[in-house]
């Protein structure tokens, strides 16, 4: 099986390393990572094991490449530009979004009729060029036909991932799975970035009251959009977040915190910002998510303009 991974950062390269054991993989990544992988291999540590892997990678796609599946694992802010750059390769192919937030699959569907939604709640942290530490995992990867349903192509991909040692489930309700991850990220990611603390510190009652406000607002949006979630209401989800998800990712630092430290734009518009945008369409007031979105944008401006 031939697999292409576009926008391969920490997540995409870790996935490429695993898949390279059972399939032919090419990862499109930054040149510094490609050079290191060719010379020394990709180094992975943490809960996915410690290993060094060699696989095909470069800043572009090999000529005349044919692929069974194409992953997009970039930041959500790059989805549109990646689809534009590689439109000829994406068109008509099976494309999997393995990204944060709401809206990536809709963008990809403008370029191909074969879209698979994916979620992964695992912490991947850079430790050097082509070197990643897999720190935490709050559940298996989920895959499903977007916007809903299941088919043989999704099942076949899941089987390949399982053979590669990647925990994965399939679902006929990928939109619900995507929103489930968005709830988790909306609750912890921006607040962890603003406060500069690992997720475990957000159990503090003052921080938790903000999280409660954001989650109750997000559930108002999912109710209007009739998204099927594993929880009947915000209170049930908040209990799950506090008792299961937060303990399993207590030591993890927000990806937004890492982006801000590197003076990069964050994915806020695909998370809390997506809640705000949808709320405007439905004339719903979401002050907690509006404030947190504006706060992250303020921090982005401070860092990007100072550099």
pLDDT of residue 307: 60
Query: Parallel, antiparallel, or unpaired: how do β-strands 115-119 and 122-128 relate?
Result: unpaired
pLDDT of residue 84: 97
pLDDT of residue 251: 82
Alpha helix ranges (H) inside the chain: 10-19, 31-40, 79-85, 87-90, 104-108, 152-163, 174-195, 205-224, 234-240, 246-248, 255-261, 272-282, 287-306
DSSP letter at 271?
Answer: T
**Are the C-beta atoms of 135 and 126 separated by less than 8 Å?**
no
pLDDT in tens, 276-304: 999 999 999 999 999 999 999 999 999 87
pLDDT in tens, 127-171: 999 999 998 777 789 999 999 999 999 999 999 999 999 999 999
Q: For the beta carbon of residue 219, count every other beta carbon within 10 angstroms.
A: 23
**Are the C-beta atoms of 274 and 99 separated by less than 8 Å?**
no
Q: Is the dihedral of CA 243, 202, 182, 253 positive or negative?
A: negative
pLDDT in tens, 207-224: 999 999 999 999 999 999
Distance in angstroms (rounded) separating the CA atoms of residues 116 and 143: 7
Look at residue 54 and tell me whether its pLDDT is greater than 90. Answer: yes
Distance in angstroms (rounded) separating the CA atoms of residues 135 and 46: 6
- What does residue 287 show for φ and ψ, rounded to 5 degrees? -65, -35
Distance in angstroms (rounded) separating the CA atoms of residues 203 and 193: 15
Pick from 82-91, 162-171, 199-208, 245-254: least confident: 245-254
Distance in angstroms (rounded) separating the CA atoms of residues 9 and 265: 15
DSSP letter at 244?
Answer: I
Segment 70-92 shows an average pLDDT of 96
Distance in angstroms (rounded) separating the CA atoms of residues 220 and 239: 17
**Are the C-beta atoms of 87 and 105 separated by less than 8 Å?**
no
Cis status of the peptide bond prior to 110, with omega within 30 of 0: no
As a whole-number percent, the residues of the chain with pLDDT over 70 amount to 99
DSSP conformation letters of 135-176: EEESS-EEEEESSS---HHHHHHHHHHHHTT--EEE-S-HHH
């Amino acid at each position: 099986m031939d697999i292409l991974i576009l926008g391969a950062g920490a997540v995409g390269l870790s996935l490429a390393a695993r898949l390279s054991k059972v399939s032919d993989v090419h990862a499109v990544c930054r040149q510094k990572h490609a050079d290191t992988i060719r010379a020394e291999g990709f180094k992975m540590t943490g809960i996915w094991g410690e290993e060094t892997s060699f696989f095909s990678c470069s800043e572009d796609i090999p000529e005349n490449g044919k692929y069974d599946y194409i992953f997009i694992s970039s930041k959500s802010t790059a989805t549109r530009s990646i689809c534009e750059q590689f439109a000829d390769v994406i068109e008509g192919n099976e494309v999997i979004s393995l990204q944060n937030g709401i809206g990536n699959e809709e963008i990809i569907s403008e370029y191909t009729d074969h879209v698979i939604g994916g979620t992964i709640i695992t912490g991947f942290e850079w430790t050097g060029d082509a070197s990643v530490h897999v720190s935490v995992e709050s559940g298996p990867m989920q895959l499903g036909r977007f916007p809903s349903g299941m088919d043989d192509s999704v099942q076949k991909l899941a089987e390949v991932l399982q053979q590669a040692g990647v925990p994965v489930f399939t679902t006929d309700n990928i939109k619900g799975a995507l929103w489930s991850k968005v709830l988790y990220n909306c609750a912890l990611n921006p607040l962890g970035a603003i406060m500069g603390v690992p997720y475990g510190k957000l159990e503090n009652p003052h921080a938790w009251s903000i999280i409660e406000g954001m989650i109750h607002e997000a559930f108002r949006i999912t109710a209007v959009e009739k998204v099927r979630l594993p929880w009947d209401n915000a209170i049930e989800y908040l209990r799950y977040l506090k008792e299961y998800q937060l303990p399993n990712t207590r030591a993890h630092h927000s990806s937004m915190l890492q982006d801000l430290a590197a003076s990069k734009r964050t994915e806020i518009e695909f998370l809390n910002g997506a809640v705000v945008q949808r709320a405007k369409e439905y004339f719903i007031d979401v002050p907690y998510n509006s404030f947190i979105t504006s706060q992250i944008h303020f921090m982005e401006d401070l860092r990007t303009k100072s550099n």
